[in-house]
Structure 1
Amino acid sequence: MTGLVLVGASGLAREASAVAVLLRHEGPLSIVDDDPARWGTLHGLTPVLGAVDLLTESVDHDVVLALGKGRHRRRVATRLELVGFDPDRYTSIVHPRVVLPGSCHVDAGAIVLDGVVLTADVEVGRHVVLMPQVTLTHGCTVHDFATLCAGVTLGGDVEVGEAAYIGMNASVREGVRIGAGATLGMGSVLLEDLPPGETWVGVPARPIRIGVHT
């Protein structure tokens, strides 16, 4: 591959492009986004070439989905799959100061920013985003498209489901399971399993009850 294309003119794309520069990724760095108002402009210092469909033309470029929410990354990945996009073109962006022990694995398409710590036997899935200062301790598994915001800490053997979202500075007790598509609010402390699709907040974290009045 001779270049790198980020999908989405987002704040995450600014961060990912900064890491790509540090990594001295081979070839040009660019962004694609479906908003016509962004085409031909700079996002930070990175040019926005045009719509996402351009990816099918730039076949010699690596690709990273730089959309902040996991469900958005999953939607774009599905869209590209339907038009025959080669998943082998996805690459990971890992900040050069992040240490990856031999027992840990980061899959294709992941974005791992500065200060992230993986201790031992950690599995990070495809298109996962780990924001600055995230800590994943022994035996953690983070499934595809999940997003862990800045300062998140997971105790040992925590499992984070597909496209789950964990807010800034949240903490999760060891052995806890977070279901697919679930959301844990920023600053929350999760002490028990969080079911799929639910949103929990607080210390200790409890589910948000929609439509309940006191």
Structure 2
Amino acid sequence: MTPLLIVGAGGFARETAQLVHAINDVSPTWELLGHLDDDPAKHGTVVDGVPVLGGSAEALERQDARVVVCVGSPRDHASRARLVSRLGLPPERYATLVHPGASVSRTSTLGPGTIVLAQTVLTAAVTVGAHVSVMPHVTLTHDDVIGDFATLAAGVRLAGGVHVETGAYLGSGALVRETRVIGAYALVGMGSVVTRDVPAREVWAGVPARFLRPAEVTLPPDSPENIPSSQEQHS
């Protein structure tokens, strides 16, 4: 089996550990070595039966192991991008994990480091980038494009031809109309209904979704998205 390290030891990381067990129950594939977390208080502890081995830098030392980065929340939805940038690992070091209970069509593609949890559906010609988090019960329909580092929380539904750009975060239960664009590092509130394009680095919420405020997000220093949001440009 291939050694695997999960960077992070919070809720998303714990869910990913259970995903690994589900994969191994069907076909033994991964030797789950443990979690890596940059909180020293977690080092040496055991989370849901999986040890926390040390900080994220240990991923650089274990060159035999594949890695998934499982951090991020609506409070800091660029943290996964920053951590991947800081680690600087080549794409081939990252694992792509798909729950056996997910349905991924043969015309859909997934990038390195992406995680697809249970009961998700990718119907036809869906393109998912690198280090994307697809949480349970997400539906991605024909020709959707999901950019690197995006997060689709539980129950998100995208109609056809939607483009979710780099680092965007869609809260639980959000619905997006066909062909809309969710801009880079935008944040869409849970339960929102998106009928218009959402500009980069803005927070939108409601039914229908409307602009609330600029998104407070710290991007990786090398990110091409390090530009002002449209609201900031006009302020």
Specify if TM > 0.5: yes
1:2-46 Cα deviation digits (max 9, x unpaired): 311000111001110001011113323310011110000011111
Q: Does 1:76 align with 2:80?
A: no
Match of 2:39 among 31, 35, 41: 35
2:21 aligns with 21
Partner of 1:48: 52
Gaps of 5+ in 2: 215-235
**Aligned partners of 1:109 and 1:19: how far apart in 2?**
14
Q: Is 1:199 aligned to 2:206, yes or no?
A: no
Distance 1:86 1:123 in 2: 20
Match of 1:90 in 2: 94
How far apart, CA to CA, are the structure 2 residues paired with 1:201 and 1:99? 29
Mapped partners of 1:164, 1:62: distance in 2: 25
Give the fraction of aligned pairs with identical amino acids, expressed as a percent.
Answer: 46
Aligned length: 207
CA deviations over 1:159-199 (Å, ceiling 9, x no partner): 00100000000100001000000010000000010000000
Unaligned runs of 5+ in 1: none
Say which of 146, 149, 152 aligns to 2:150.
146
**Correspondence 1:6 to 2:10:** no
Do 2:132 and 2:148's aligned partners in 1 also have CA atoms closer than 8 Å? yes
User: Which consecutive segments of 4 or more residues in structure 1 shift more than 4 A?
Assistant: none
Give the 3 Å change call, closer, same or farther, for CA 184–57 of structure 1 in structure 2. Answer: same
Contact 2:169 2:188 in 1 (8 A): yes
Helix, strand or coil at the partner of 1:47:
strand
Aligned mates of 1:26, 1:150 — CA distance in 2: 25
Q: Deviations over 1:104-148 (max 9, x none)?
A: 001110110001011101001000001100000111000000000
Distance 1:168 1:153 in 2: 9
Say yes or no: does 1:114 pair with 2:118.
yes
Q: Does 1:179 align with 2:186?
A: no
Q: Secondary structure at the match of 1:139?
A: coil
| Distance in 1 between residues matched to 2:100 and 2:209, nearest whole Å | 34
What corresponds to 2:231 in structure 1? none
CA distance in 2 between partners of 1:93 and 1:189 (Å): 29
Partner of 1:151, secondary structure, is coil
> What is the TM-score of this pair, normalised by structure 1?
0.93
| RMSD (Å), alpha carbons | 1.2
Asked if the contact 1:17–1:29 (Cα under 8 Å) also holds between the matched residues in 2, the reply is no
Distance across 1 between alignment mates of 2:54 and 2:188: 34
Quote the residue 1:157 is aligned against: 161
